[in-house]
Amino acid sequence: MTSLRKMTIDDLWTFNEIGSIALSPDGRRVAYVVNSDDKEKNETRSAVWLLHLDEQGGTVGLPRHRRK
């Protein structure tokens, strides 16, 4: 069993953040942005994901974009 510990500032770098979300006009897909931080490079990476609501396991990651 893993022992519990207090959260630290460094833990914040490990969290991903969900950004913009958009539903397709036909209601069959959702596009959303996941932002993740890289502490060593001091940058945020954004990835767009496409979720097919009418299929099982239908999440597709699109090419990443880096921003500082």
pLDDT tens across 10-56, in order? 888 889 999 899 999 998 889 999 998 888 888 888 888 888 887 67
- SS3 per-residue string spanning 13-60: HHCEEEEEEEECCCCCEEEEEEEEEECCCCEEEEEEEEEECCCCCCEE
Instruction: Output the six-digit token pair for 17.
Output: 């953040």
Locate the domains of the chain by residue range. 9-67
Residue 31's DSSP bridge partners are 22, 50
Instruction: Say how far apart CA 64 and CA 66 lie, in whole Å.
Output: 7
The pLDDT, as a whole number, for residue 9 is 87
Yes or no: say if 46 and 67 are a contact pair by the CB < 8 Å rule. yes
The pLDDT, as a whole number, for residue 52 is 87
